[in-house]
A and B are shown apart, each in its own frame.
Chain A
């Protein structure tokens, strides 16, 4: 009597409550307090490494480790690639994420010298959208004027993660998205052109 369709329908119905969990990115709301605490502890960790007297390679490895834990590298990487993510092949996507992570680490490592003796304090934090919070920090280099940096923090897989850095109104992920898209367009709409450029930059060292 019961056609197979119905049983399938019932099974689909049973599975339905699970669907949003699978389909939606694993993001939930994060409280401003939790975001502040996360930025504070991550910042303390980073500053400790930056100001340590360990050899450069060791510091670099430890900073890379902190970044991998604290930054939503995959989410941010996909955001930055924007509409080209779907154009890229699976291999290109994987290679892109690998290069994106290395680029992030290289760009921070290139500035280790500037960060010697740096101090920072966490200011106010405010919910900016449904799923992220903007935490303001004041970063005081050993010499020179203090800089205000805003960290956008979201909840990824239940853990707080950095999704963007905003300096003087300039969002790093927006600027980078514009930059990457320009490289791809000028490379004839090929994601491979971006991957080449990223490899070249990494080969330049830093």
Chain B
């Protein structure tokens, strides 16, 4: 179960990186609710981060400067270093694990895993639909939760999408913050998890804390299930990304820059709820 602990430790680290990021964002009131010791850790991370800061081009080059602002990657040297480490971890461990997962579980079973994970996120999605004032989408999410938990046998089958014409969508706290007017903050590459930004990293930490399944129950079985869920989430996400990522590496002259731009654009579409339906099924 050491991996689980590593993942947990990483989550905490994300939280502190995100907080350190939020510390320089005046529009992040959520920060004040966090305990002081986390902010202390955040300050350390902040120091580390800024020791590897990219220098903005001089004002005499307005175009270069505009591009620097648009790229929004003040921590590029640090981000590139984490990206390289992630690539190594991916080649050695994560991708082979995802390939093994794909090899041993036939597609219908993997779909089942995906559906269960999505159903477990359901309460969070519902909360964010409501926080974003999306009544219709909230109702849809609630219906999906009820239908899939019962008729879908605990979420294994997406009966709501397949038989009741109620396809799912994803939401997270990063999107809710965006709808509330929070800027994205600077671009961040998270260890193991990849592209993010200050706002979304904070959102990720808060979502983990908000999910009831992070807290409900105790004992070795429940703990085991929790680790299992974390592992399955990683495997499912990497399994889905095998072909798209291969394509990026086949065609891109700078995969780091390509993924940075693609992440940004996809998040913008997701915030406007223009991501394709079925995402987050």
Contact = CB atoms under 8 A, between A and B. Distances in A.
Nearest to A82: B67
A186 B265 CA distance: 23
Interface in A176-193: 176, 178-183, 186
> How many B residues are at the interface, by size bracket?
20 to 34
Nearest to A200: B253
Nearest to B70: A178
Contacts of A176: 258
Contact of A110 (B250, B254, B256, B266): B250
Interface residues of A, number: 27
Interface in A156-206: 168-171, 174-176, 178-183, 186, 194, 197-198, 201, 206
Chain B interface helix/strand/loop/mixed:
helix
B261 interface: yes
Interface string B245-258: 00100111110111
Nearest to A86: B63
A197 B252 CA distance: 10
Contacts of A103: 251
B63 A83 contact: yes
Contact of B257 (A83, A145, A179): A179
B273 to A, nearest CB: 10
Given A174-B261, A178-B258, A198 B268 contact: no
B254 A206 contact: no
Nearest to A107: B251
Nearest to A145: B278
Most buried by B among A148, A171, A182, A206: A182
Contact of A197 (B63, B253, B260, B269): B253
Given A168-B266, A169-B268, A179 B253 contact: yes
A182 B256 contact: yes
Contacts of B64: 83
A128 interface: no
Contacts of B256: 182
A169 B63 contact: no
B258 A111 contact: no
Nearest to A108: B251
A131 B264 CA distance: 25
Contacts of A178: 71, 257-258, 260-261
Contacts of A183: 253-254, 257
A45 to B, nearest CB: 23
A194 B253 CA distance: 8
Interface in B69-91: 71
Interface string B267-281: 011100011101100
Nearest to B281: A145
Interface string B136-163: 0000000000000000000000000000
Contact of B265 (A148, A169, A201): A169
Contacts of A111: 247
Nearest to A196: B253
A19 B270 CA distance: 44
Most buried by A among B63, B247, B261, B276: B261
B145 to A, nearest CB: 23
A16 B275 CA distance: 47
Contact of B253 (A145, A198, A206): A198
A173 to B, nearest CB: 11
A182 B260 CA distance: 11
Nearest to A83: B63
B258 A179 contact: yes
A201 B261 contact: no
B265 A180 contact: no
Contacts of A175: 258, 261-262, 265
A198 B253 CA distance: 7
Contact of B254 (A148, A169, A170, A186): A186
Nearest 9 CB-CB pairings of A with B: A169-B269, A182-B257, A178-B261, A197-B253, A175-B261, A170-B265, A83-B63, A179-B257, A107-B251
7 contacts: A83-B64, A107-B250, A170-B262, A170-B265, A183-B257, A197-B253, A197-B254
